[in-house]
Amino acid sequence: MKTEIWKVNKSNPDLETMRRASQIIKQGGLVAFPTETVYGLGANGLDAQAVLGIFKAKGRPADNPLILHIANQKDVFYLAAGVPLKAQVLIEAFWPGPLTLVLPKSRFIPQEVTCGLDTVAIRMPRHPVALALIREAGVPLAAPSANTSGYPSTTEASHVISDMDGKIDLVLDGGPAGFGLESTVIDMSGEKPLILRPGGITREQIEEVIGPVEYDPANEDSHVKPRSPGMKYKHYSPHAQVVLLEGEPEEIADMLVDLIAENKEQGKKVGLLLTAETLNKLPDKQKIYWRNLGSRHDLEHIARNLYAELRSCDNAGIEVIYTETYARKDIGAALMNRLVKSSEQEIRRKQ
């Protein structure tokens, strides 16, 4: 299969281009497209065979459900068997946007989308290209992140090509994705709302709208069995080993002096993905691969950079990546969720 790449205007996509892309979807093909979170890999969410193509292209585990993407809020009432009042409040507050709702599924949803579950995950993206593609296709798009399963998600078209070239039909290149981390997933099918995955819409924002929500403890501890079947798998991980360092910038810099020397003795190539504050405390950065993720005071900037820099380390042949932790609140909760998953919870503190 030859994978084509079409440039699109991210704020005002050409209608004819979107029509041509939608024809691929209608014919059962796979199209990668930008969203306000990461790049998605889309197929007709009502076509079981097309959906199976997503699993094959990504190497995705067969029990890891997909999210359906829609372009009209009203479509949720067709795809879900029931939409509780609190879910409707969240829709009004945050759609279009990076919030995925898990709801009882309707009879129209193929088992291949939900992996046999009686619930379905639905969201309405905010990105103009994503919305235009869904509208032109005329069907909901099943669309996980457009990456090899388990590897860091794709935030640029070049990342998609690196993982998916020859496996999918088309990549719509709309430039860098927006937020850089996947959507928040909240289960609204039970008695109490439960956040299964933190993301672009924070717990604090949700609670301002509907009151207290529960939080799956597996988000903070990888040894706890997650409520969502797909979250039990390794996610967001580069080929390099990822180690998290906890502490203030000066403490992390002190730890790194010893850690870099230890790895050098073992002949391992080290990469540093650090905040500006920590880099400023590091005495000697010469002959070390390092990247400035941004300021500790701007976690949204760090979120936009994270996946791209994890991938850059692999491209540079890095064997061990050292990065740092963040407070688990607001956007920091989503950042730590991804970092804990990518590092398999290897966290070091100054003794």
Do residues 148 and 168 lie in contact, with contact meaning Cβ atoms separated by under 8 Å?
A: no
Helices (H) and strands (E) in the chain, counts: 12, 16
Helix (H, G, I), strand (E, B) or coil at 326: coil
Q: What is the pLDDT of residue 20?
A: 98
Rounded to whole angstroms, the Cα distance separating 272 from 275 reads 10
What CATH number was assigned to the domain covering residues 241-349?
3.40.50.11030
**Which sequence spans correspond to the domains of the chain?**
4-231, 241-349
Give the tens place of pLDDT for each residue, 205-249: 999 999 999 998 877 665 555 555 555 556 788 999 999 999 999
Helix (H, G, I), strand (E, B) or coil at 260: helix
Do residues 199 and 37 lie in contact, with contact meaning Cβ atoms separated by under 8 Å?
A: yes
Residue ranges of the chain with pLDDT lower than 70? Answer: 220-234
Bridge partners of 186? Answer: 101, 195
Rounded to whole angstroms, the Cα distance separating 136 from 15 reads 9
Q: What is the pLDDT of residue 346?
A: 86
Rounded to whole angstroms, the Cα distance separating 270 from 13 reads 41
Q: What is the pLDDT of residue 344?
A: 78
Architecture of the domain whose range is 4-231: Alpha-Beta Complex (3.90)
Give the tens place of pLDDT for each residue, 50-66: 999 999 999 999 999 99
Helix (H, G, I), strand (E, B) or coil at 123: strand
Rounded to whole angstroms, the Cα distance separating 206 from 91 reads 11
Q: What is the pLDDT of residue 187?
A: 98
48 secondary structure, DSSP code:
H
Do residues 142 and 60 lie in contact, with contact meaning Cβ atoms separated by under 8 Å?
A: no
Q: What is the CA radius of gyration of the chain?
A: 20
Instruction: Provide φ and ψ at 181, rounded to 5°.
Output: -125, 155
Helix (H, G, I), strand (E, B) or coil at 164: helix
Give the tens place of pLDDT for each residue, 68-81: 999 999 999 999 99
In Å, how far are 24, 196, 271 from 186, measured between CA atoms? Answer: 31, 6, 34
Q: Give percent above pLDDT 70 in the chain.
A: 95
Residue with token string 């850690």: 259
